[in-house]
Amino acid sequence: MNDPHVHSHRHPPAADDPSSGYEPLERAIRELLIEKGILDAAAIQRRIEAMDSLTPANGARLVARAWIDPAYKARLLEDAAGLLAEEGFELEHSPTVRVVENTGDVHNVIVCTLCSCYPRMVLGLPPAWYKKKAYRARVVREPRAVLAEFGTELPDGVEVRVHDSTADLRYIVLPRRPEGTDDMDEDALAALVTRDALIGTAPARAPGES
Amino acid sequence: MIENGTKVRVDDRFHAGHHRVPGYLKGREGVVTACLGRFPNPEALAYFRPGDPPLALYQVRFRQADLWDGYAGGPADTLDADIYEHWLQQLEDRP
């Protein structure tokens, strides 16, 4: 008979991930670049801080403004890269950004099956699940099942459109504006736009929903 | 230049090393929905070559029901992928 106090369960792995070999490689190259005077530690730190300063809040702000201002929305859908460059995003050495709009007829969802391309230059680093093989393999093959696991159930009449970012473009989803938000200002609207809504795995939050 | 609306097939050819076509789309037919510009060939950039001349990049839309046997989603569901010109065969001259 099992004694519930016996410590018999399996332990989770001690490390986050088995060492891939890339970490020592990265360290070796970084140290060589510093030793040769090509980079310095402060420059690397500044790049890390710049990347860490990018968050999904940037995307939420774009969406909220697009919900309020039809001209801004048109520009965002037509020329997101130009608009973002004007707004001070550093896009010179990064892939082009494109925004795709969810409507009553089409629901967009973003993936990169070849690796883990993500609109980092706007939203920062992707969530861990976005990089996992399970998401990447399944969302192209059974997107509705994956969306349902995120709590997103779509009627059959809605076209689910998966964007596989296979090349030089990065995609951001413009989610639908939730009902009952007519009186909300830009800040309040932006608070409804989650990271998952910008990837397309979830809709924007309804007002009052946590 | 491939016009929007043109039917295309993704080449089903072997390519050793870095390439930018997902295996699940090789040999599949879709429709060009946008030309996204020209970009240095990433299959050359990957080996520190310049990637000249730049290649036209197309957004190609596939019907999910054409990609997967027994696809369980809606009949209108689609998948868009961005594919360089040298992987596409035109099936028609005109939309």
pLDDT one-digit tens code per residue, A147-202: 999 999 999 899 999 999 999 999 999 999 999 999 999 999 999 999 999 999 99
Among A70-74, B19-23, B39-43, top mean pLDDT goes to A70-74
pLDDT digits (tens, 9 = 90+) for B35-84: 999 999 999 999 999 999 999 999 999 999 999 999 999 899 999 999 99
- How do strand A106-111 and strand A159-164 relate by DSSP bridges? parallel
Asked if the structure places residue A151 within a domain, the reply is: yes
Same domain, A90 and A178: yes
Mean pLDDT within B25-29: 97
CB B56 within 8 A of CB B83: no
Q: Do residues A168 and A76 share a domain?
A: yes
**A174 and A82, same structural domain?**
yes
Q: Tell me if chain B has a CB within 8 Å of the CB of A141.
A: yes
> Could you give the domains of chain B?
7-90 (2.30.30.50)
Contact B80/A at CB under 8 A? yes
Q: What is the mean pLDDT of chain A?
A: 90
CB A133 within 8 A of CB A188: no
Q: Buried (b) or exposed (e) across B22-60, using 16+ Cβ within 10 A? A: bebbbebbbbbeeebeebebbbeeeeeeebeeebbbbbb
Q: Does B57 touch chain A (CB under 8 A)?
A: yes
* Alpha carbon distance A39, B76 (integer Å): 51
In A94-205 the beta strands, taken as DSSP E runs, fall at 96-101, 106-111, 159-164, 169-174
Q: Is A190 exposed, middle or buried (0-12, 13-18, 19+ CB in 10 A)?
A: buried
- Residue A87 sits in the same domain as residue A37: no
- Tell me if A164 and B42 make a contact (CB, 8 A cut-off): no
Residues A47 and A124 in one domain: no
Give domain status of residue A16, yes or no. no
pLDDT band for A209, please (50, 70, 90 cuts).
confident
pLDDT of residue B49: 93
Mean pLDDT across the stretch A54-82? Answer: 97
CA torsion angle A44 A49 A52 A58 (round to 10) = -120
Instruction: Judge whether A204 lies within some domain.
Output: no
Same domain? For A44 and A79 the reply is no
For position A23, what pLDDT does the model report? Answer: 87
Residue A178: how many other CB atoms lie within 10 Å: 19
Select from A143, A158, A164 the Cβ nearest to the Cβ of B81.
Answer: A164
Radius of gyration of chain B (CA): 14
Catalytic residues of A: 112, 115-117
Residue A71 and residue A30 share a domain:
no
Q: Per-residue pLDDT averaged across B13-39, rounded? A: 94
Strand B55-63, strand B78-84: pairing: antiparallel
Domain that holds residue A105: 55-199
Most confident of A89-98, A138-147, A201-210: A138-147
**Single pTM value for the model:** 0.88
Is residue A105 located within the same domain as residue A143? yes
- The alpha-carbon gap from A168 to the nearest alpha carbon of chain B, in Å, equals 7
Instruction: Assess whether pLDDT exceeds 50 at residue A6.
Output: no
Confidence at residue A19, expressed as pLDDT on a 0 to 100 scale: 64
Structure tokens belonging to residue B57: 């990049």
Q: Please, which residues 166-185 of chain A have a Cβ atom closer than 8 Å to chain B?
A: 166-169
Number of domains in chain A: 2
φ, ψ of residue B31 to 5 degrees: the values are -125, 135
In a domain, A208, yes or no: no
Cβ distance A168 to B76 less than 8 Å, yes or no, reads no
Give the largest Cα separation in chain A, rounded: 70
If asked whether residues A71 and A89 sit together in one domain, one would say yes
Domain-embedded: residue A2: no
A207 inside domain: no
pLDDT value of position A10:
53
CATH code of the domain in which A189 resides: 3.90.330.10
Cβ contacts of B42 on chain A, cutoff 8 Å? 167-168
Q: Are residues A73 and A120 in the same domain?
A: yes
A94 located within any domain? yes
- Position A140 scores a pLDDT of 97
Asked if residue A4 is part of any domain, the answer here is: no
Query: Using CA atoms, how far apart are residues A85 and A97, in angstroms rounded to an integer?
Result: 10
Question: Are both A109 and A188 inside the same structural domain?
Answer: yes
Taking alpha carbons only, the member of B20, B94, B5, B17 closest to residue B57 is: B20
Residue A14: pLDDT band (50, 70, 90) is: very low
Residue A93's pLDDT is: 78
Pair (A90, A26) in one structural domain: no
